[in-house]
């Protein structure tokens, strides 16, 4: 009530010259939102996303899949921007960046496409690719994940072998990150080399959390082709390196005396051979 009252007063008496600017901005921001389709998720699964997950220094964070049977949005590293979360004193122990929007994977099963958003250093990159077709082998092994009975399946994807546990109790062919294509929801999947894992944490169906329903794929970031997108970390590192070297020199450092190396864990995708076919 107060808002509209003040809006009215300010527009009416003080802001006439600025009214049109405000109008333009408001309509611009609205049209921007309209272009982002609402997901209308029917469920929400929270995973624990672990890298180096069999090591002591495992880095874990919550990741969320919002889904319906046409589309799903997987996101993590979402927080108050900009931020670098450090798992110890430095990034050798593992660290990851977050921002307000987070890292996103939007699967569209009708268009067979993935829309992606990644954070590299403090820059966000946005791109898209085709929905990967995974060859799954289903095995008779059964185990309980949470309260769900899950069946085992394996696949190979971009340089890593994965073991997944899916449940037919959630009859949607989807899963965390880029994984999908099983006759049910993937609740747990880990790479056989112990590097990456998405572990089940909780499920919410229907969604009680109103905020989750509002989350959409936001393409705020540098829009690049997929080839550039997968190089984002390196590009940002080179940028930071150049800046730091300039700082070093301006602080009186010897030319050539500056060295900066990258100590990052292996990326989850080791090759993109499937795209060449």
Q: Which residue number, 251 or 256, has a Cβ lying nearer to other proteins?
A: 251
Q: Which residue number, 92 or 142, has a Cβ lying nearer to other proteins?
A: 142
Q: How far is the CB of 231 from other proteins (least distance, A)?
A: 20
Q: Which residue number, 167 or 191, has a Cβ lying nearer to other proteins?
A: 167
- Measured between its terminal Cα atoms, the distance across the chain in Å is 59
Q: How far is the CB of 91 from other proteins (least distance, A)?
A: 9
Measured from the Cβ of residue 62, the count of other Cβ atoms closer than 10 Å reads 14
Q: Are 194 and 97 in contact (CB under 8 A)?
A: no
Q: Are 96 and 79 in contact (CB under 8 A)?
A: no
Q: Are 256 and 271 in contact (CB under 8 A)?
A: no
Q: Which residue number, 86 or 249, has a Cβ lying nearer to other proteins?
A: 86
Q: Which residue number, 111 or 194, has a Cβ lying nearer to other proteins?
A: 111
Residue 206, preceding peptide bond in cis (omega within 30° of 0): yes
CB contact set of 18 (below 8 Å; sequence gap of 6+)? none
Q: Which residue number, 60 or 128, has a Cβ lying nearer to other proteins?
A: 60
Q: What is the phi-psi region of residue 273: left when phi exceeds 0, alpha when psi lies from -120 to 50, beta otherwise? A: alpha
Q: How far is the CB of 193 from other proteins (least distance, A)?
A: 22
Q: How far is the CB of 272 from other proteins (least distance, A)?
A: 15
| Residue ranges binding other proteins (CB under 8 A) | 2-3, 6, 10, 14-15, 17-18, 21-22, 25-26, 28-29, 32, 42-43, 48, 60, 68-70, 79-89, 98, 109-110, 121-122, 138, 140, 142, 146-147, 151, 168-173, 182-184, 199, 201-206, 220, 243-244, 247, 251, 277
Give me the helices (H) in 35-186, please: none
Half-sphere exposure in the Cβ direction for 139 (13 Å, CA): 10
Q: How far is the CB of 31 from other proteins (least distance, A)?
A: 11
Q: How far is the CB of 183 from other proteins (least distance, A)?
A: 4
Cα separation, 18 vs 34, whole angstroms: 24
Cα radius of gyration (the chain): 22
């Amino acid at each position: 009530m107060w808002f509209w009252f003040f809006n009215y007063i300010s527009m009416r008496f003080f802001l006439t010259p600025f009214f049109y600017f405000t109008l333009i901005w408001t309509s611009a921001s609205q049209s921007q939102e309209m272009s982002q389709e609402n997901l209308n998720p029917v469920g929400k699964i929270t995973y624990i996303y672990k890298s180096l997950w069999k090591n002591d220094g495992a880095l874990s964070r919550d990741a969320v899949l919002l889904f319906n049977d046409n589309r799903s949005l997987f996101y993590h590293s979402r927080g108050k921007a900009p931020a670098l979360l450090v798992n110890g004193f430095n990034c050798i122990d593992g660290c990851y960046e977050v921002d307000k929007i987070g890292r996103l994977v939007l699967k569209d099963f009708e268009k067979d496409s993935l829309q992606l958003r990644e954070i590299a250093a403090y820059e966000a990159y946005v791109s898209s690719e085709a929905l990967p077709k995974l060859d799954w082998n289903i095995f008779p092994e059964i185990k309980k994940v949470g309260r769900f009975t899950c069946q085992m399946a394996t696949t190979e994807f971009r340089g890593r072998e994965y073991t997944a546990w899916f449940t037919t109790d959630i009859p949607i062919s989807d899963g965390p990150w880029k994984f999908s294509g099983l006759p049910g929801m993937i609740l747990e999947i880990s790479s056989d080399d112990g590097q990456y894992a998405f572990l089940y944490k909780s499920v919410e169906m229907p969604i009680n959390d109103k905020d989750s329903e509002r989350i959409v794929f936001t393409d705020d970031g540098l829009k690049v082709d997929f080839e550039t997108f997968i190089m984002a970390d390196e590009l940002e590192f080179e940028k930071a390196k150049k800046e730091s070297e300039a700082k070093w020199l301006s602080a009186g450092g010897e030319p050539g005396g500056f060295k900066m190396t990258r100590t990052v864990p292996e990326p989850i995708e080791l090759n993109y051979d499937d795209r060449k076919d």
